[in-house]
Structure 1
């Protein structure tokens, strides 16, 4: 390979090694007040003050049960300018609901004695709830300290009937390899609606990437034996440096420790990650009237707990943003050093809607594996897992291998003889 002079770009700095965490913003945090005057996030009717408020069907509207007045919740991003000025962000900016976890009066958290999950309940509406992970009945006596009330909520758009149909279709396509017990016990109507806690973050970022790119100049094949040939490639190698600003809008980050820390040995809740994205631009200011019959899971991670993960995703987005800019290196670019400065970030917390079906499988070793099928409550994407009949799976695999061998081995023998 030849090594010509470096490609356009300033000399490489002494950057941080690839894979090391990007640096974070250093300025003191600033607060955006998103509170509505109600400590528990529950707004009364703006016309008559009644608390008999509910969501109107599957719409974004709320309706007063006393005076029948209808209104739509305040669009959070428009009300507080959360989609503006990303390029001017300096230091950390956070909304009221994204501050460190506190306690709340009427929105309490109950710990499930069945599976250990923590579920948020609005005690102004009910003193009883059902766990959305294992469907156990929850008792208010198991109350634990609550997380902060979120800034926004994205109400369900997909109905329960639609979610049941989607879950039934998903499971139906996988019944051949599913356990017989699962096929007999599966009931799509056991689906539960749940709001899961997330944070959105905007980022004003500068990235600097340094690596080597290759441009193919010649390809040729050489006879290296009686029946063998070797292909060689000649390429020019260039130093590649890219230094640029990047404005990131509404990156979604999990703020539940249990869902963020994936443990595939006991459950398949990692499927929740596959349901992104959500149309968070449409979220409204949090009002527990939107919760309806759905349960909610508390946020138990603060910004400092999720910032490293968010910054890592910033860096991934930076790499992807310049993909079209390096297409001239037809053999690719290998990044060797990466740097990122987060000049500023803006954080908000919200609830996102999920329809959830769970099934507990007792495995041969006595361990319980909980399988989940989940539906995005906004656009209906489905992801999940079902317990597998391993004997049937291995049987089909071995049969397929044997059939393939029966076909390919004679063909390979004939080719060898002909050569």
Structure 2
């Protein structure tokens, strides 16, 4: 039967819009042709390309000290930090008032014709130094040994708006990786155990889009309530019957999202489980992005980085998908009356405003290339460079799994593992 939505009769209907109309299909409404994005200038005005000196002594040998999360002068030991990026964009308004599209300057579209090579004039001796910004954002003057850095937001994706400094030291990351692999040692492939070298861990800054959003959503579908169930027959002929009342259900929700993290590297967004285990990087979220600081190339000294190669338009479909998932979660509490569940048939997301910031996030990464029966696979163990959260994969010995199942598992487990072994 189809009847009035019982969710509208009690306190659970708070904040819902029940107008009898159902949105058609899964739609995304951006309000027609949007105006040109508003640009938020996040460039670090204190810095120029070239010599970046210690504010205390003027030396140029500067690098991050992970134990404090601050920049440290290697000459006088003075420590300092750049301003938080949150302070730079705070004047852009609250999330509830967010309208249109705001794009931070470091997240602007990548120009295919952007210069790949820059010539820096050393402020120490006046000589010119050529830097390939596709490979590095810093270089040492070959005459006076001053360290030169790239701080201009060149539109090639190499210089973001902000970064979140490493807080976990290399030694701590090695220990995390050892513990992770050690707990999986029993079923790990023998070759992996022989070649496991956690000292080869690399600290890498990975590119992400950090997105604020102001949105609303409408969903419609059918909900079922089970008023009674009963059985008929006896013995082997016994059958259970369920009587379910079916209701048309519509819901509306307004919500905001603060600092949604989405990959902006096409390679890292490639979740092909047949060739790599990239997906483990998403399992070490979240990051405390509110503590991200303005760009300073010296934070990258001693680490590697991957430049962004996806524009906001390429990330937009992922954003819409995640916003719809959030909307479903938001309306779920108001549908508790349907004890047999709700099947949403149509969905609509209206994105009223977004704010995009390009950011480097810190990850300690251990990789292992393994070939099993002619099929190559790259296994990763990733450590969150802020929280220490660790996740990864190791190549397993299928023969060990099979033996374990045959000696201690059920018949079904043994058959399943035998099939798995035969299919590899």
Q: TM-score range by the shorter chain?
A: 0.7 to 0.9
Distance 1:148 1:122, change over 3 A: closer
Distance 1:83 1:363, change over 3 A: farther
Distance 1:81 1:42, change over 3 A: farther
Instruction: Count the aligned residue pairs.
Output: 374
User: Residue by residue, what CA displacement relative to the aligned partner does 1:38-59 show, whole Å, maximum 9, x if unpaired?
Assistant: 4659854345654332234521
Q: Does residue 1:214 correspond to 2:213, yes or no?
A: no
RMSD: 2.6
Contact 1:41/1:288 (<8 A) preserved? no
> Match of 2:146?
none
Distance 1:405 1:384, change over 3 A: closer
Contact 1:202/1:347 (<8 A) preserved? yes
Pick one of 117, 122, 138 that aligns with 1:123: 138
> Match of 1:393?
401
Contact 2:138/2:297 (<8 A) preserved? no
User: Residue by residue, what CA displacement relative to the aligned partner does 1:110-144 show, whole Å, maximum 9, x if unpaired?
Assistant: 3xxxxxxxxxx2332599xxxxxxxxxxxxxxxxx
> Match of 1:98?
107
Inter-partner Cα distance in structure 1 for 2:333 and 2:40: 37
> Match of 2:134?
109
Instruction: State the secondary structure of the residue aligned to 2:404.
Output: helix
**Which residues in structure 2 correspond to 1:172-191 (within 5 Å)?**
172-191=182-201
Contact 1:83/1:249 (<8 A) preserved? no
Inter-partner Cα distance in structure 2 for 1:327 and 1:39: 57
Instruction: State the secondary structure of the residue aligned to 1:383.
Output: strand
Contact 2:22/2:250 (<8 A) preserved? no
Contact 1:42/1:288 (<8 A) preserved? no
> Match of 1:154?
164
Inter-partner Cα distance in structure 2 for 1:46 and 1:378: 26
User: Residue by residue, what CA displacement relative to the aligned partner does 1:9-64 show, whole Å, maximum 9, x if unpaired?
Assistant: 533435231xx452346232000000013465985434565433223452132233
- Indicate the larger mover: 389-398 or 209-218: 389-398
Deviation at 1:405, TM superposition (A): 9.8
Q: Does residue 1:10 correspond to 2:18, yes or no?
A: yes
> Match of 1:347?
356
Contact 1:42/1:287 (<8 A) preserved? no
Contact 1:107/1:146 (<8 A) preserved? no
> Match of 1:323?
332
Instruction: State the secondary structure of the residue aligned to 2:242.
Output: strand
Inter-partner Cα distance in structure 2 for 1:123 and 1:354: 20
Deviation at 1:338, TM superposition (A): 0.5
- Indicate the larger mover: 199-208 or 75-84: 75-84
Contact 1:32/1:96 (<8 A) preserved? yes
Deviation at 1:85, TM superposition (A): 1.1
> Match of 2:122?
none
Inter-partner Cα distance in structure 1 for 2:51 and 2:350: 39
Inter-partner Cα distance in structure 2 for 1:41 and 1:216: 71
**Which residues in structure 2 correspond to 1:157-306 (within 5 Å)?**
157-223=167-233, 225-306=234-315
> Match of 1:414?
none
Deviation at 1:287, TM superposition (A): 1.0
Contact 1:214/1:330 (<8 A) preserved? yes
User: Residue by residue, what CA displacement relative to the aligned partner does 1:156-207 show, whole Å, maximum 9, x if unpaired?
Assistant: 1122111111111111111221111111111211111111000110111010
Inter-partner Cα distance in structure 2 for 1:247 and 1:125: 45
Structure 2 unaligned residues grouped into runs of 5+: 9-16, 119-130, 143-154, 415-424
Contact 2:269/2:278 (<8 A) preserved? no
Inter-partner Cα distance in structure 2 for 1:321 and 1:98: 29
User: Residue by residue, what CA displacement relative to the aligned partner does 1:260-290 show, whole Å, maximum 9, x if unpaired?
Assistant: 1222222212211211111111111111111
> Match of 1:27?
35
Deviation at 1:372, TM superposition (A): 1.0
